[in-house]
Amino acid sequence: MGTLLRTSFSDPGVLPRATPDEAADLERQIGNTEDIANGSSAGGYRPPPRTKEVVINGQTVKLKYCFTCKIFRPPRASHCSLCDNCVERFDHHCPWVGNCVGKRNYRFFYMFILSLSFLTVFIFAFVITHIIHRTQKTGFLTALKDSPASVLEAVVCFFSVWSIVGLSGFHTYLISSNQTTNEDIKGSWSNKRSKENFNPYSYGNIFTNCCSALCGPLSPSLIDRRGFIQPDTPQPAAPSNGITMYGATQSQSNMGTEVRLTRW
């Protein structure tokens, strides 16, 4: 339960969105780069390119531009359509825990499904042992009649153990090769170093990959939980007098009228 709660309620590695000033500055830099590349300093509007290229351990990796968060996503990051956030080292969005699985909570998710696999196998094995033991004493039909809950539990565990153990085995494979579910589904990398699309994040050793994913230092959260939400559009400055504000001007004119009426 502890690993489940930690996976559900912890920050998976959400990347903060760019402020309006940062987004405008980034688009201005992108526009200047495009103008230089095209040999012109003026022209119609062109949307910013969706990718940049960086080299990681001799492998070229593309950084995609997120039009929602207005940032170039770091390597292995992706935008979750359900959470509407860019998540660092995005693995997948798990509906069972109600949260994304990313850089900061992947180890807790793996420990959760691994412990759940052991629990399911343990319950299934002992329920079968219990039914066999009662069958030897009273017979099979009598054992089913006397302990229907054990039979129901055995059926549930039988159909659950394959998916849970299979999921644990799949993520064990991902950890040993230092991949994410998102990268494995897309076929981003090859496990062979001789291939052109080799995995630049793998250390080339299963033990090192596992230690890096499960025992490495936990990166701090980038979310300012005590900060204030800033508006997407800049707000006009508050007026210092009643000249630029309609309400103040109207009140001043009414006050002047009242004064004139009093004098009359």
Residue numbers annotated as active site: 94
> 15-30: b or e for each residue (b if 16 or more CB lie within 10 Å)?
bebbeeeebeebbeeb
The helix (run of H) or strand (run of E) holding residue 85 is: strand 85-87
d(CA 84, CA 132): 51
Question: Residue 99 is which amino acid?
Answer: N
Contact 173, 166 (CB under 8 A): no
d(CA 188, CA 73): 16
Pairing, β 14-15 against β 59-66: unpaired
User: Which is nearest to 100 in space by CA: 8, 22, 209?
Assistant: 8
**Phi–psi pair at 120, nearest 5 degrees:** -65, -45
Pairing, β 78-80 against β 85-87: antiparallel
Residue 54: strand pairing partners:
61
* 204 Rama class: left (phi>0) / alpha (psi -120 to 50) / beta: left
Residue the block writes with tokens 């509407």 = 84
